[in-house]
Amino acid sequence: MQPGRKKSVLEKISRKNMASSIKLRSELISQKDQLAELEEMVDRVRELQENSSEYSYDTPSQLRADRWYSSKLADQMKILKARVEFIQKEIQNLYLITKKDDLKRKKIERLISEANTLLQRDAEKELEKKATFQQPKLP
């Protein structure tokens, strides 16, 4: 492949990689925001659980209602913890993908610089050829 064509193709790949990298970063920010929201919800559910155990009961129906409420809070806590765990794994995966993309981007940039170097060498050789061709022959 000619160095000029190679450079052009690599620059297009680099732009495509940059676009996907921007998407990954925005997804990562979104996942972090969701994680923060979930952690706030976990804290609120913990507060509700702590506050619900302070009541005294006058009737069995109050005790039954409190037990039902406590079980619902426990279920919500399980769901929230599972979602937090899932999002943490997603964030880890996004970090790995971002790291791979950065390595790929660095490699492409290195290849582009090599192609630029080849283009410069070719241009210098052409100038040398023209200079030697234009020199008059000495008798």
Query: 64: which 2 tokens?
Result: 């039954």
Residue 111 has pLDDT above 70, yes or no: yes
Q: Which amino acid, 93?
A: N
Listed range (26-35, 49-58, 121-130) with the worst mean pLDDT: 49-58
Report pLDDT for 136: 61
Q: Is the model's pTM score more than 0.85? A: no
Listed range (24-28, 39-43, 61-65, 95-99) with the worst mean pLDDT: 61-65
For residues 110 and 117, what is the distance between their CA atoms, to the nearest angstrom? 11
Task: State the average pLDDT over residues 25-31.
Answer: 93
Q: Can you say how many angstroms the Cα of residue 122 is from the centroid of all Cα atoms in its chain?
A: 39
Q: What is the pLDDT of residues 51-98, one digit of tens each?
A: 876 667 788 888 888 888 889 999 999 999 999 999 999 999 999 999
Per-residue confidence at 30, pLDDT binned at 50, 70, 90?
Answer: very high
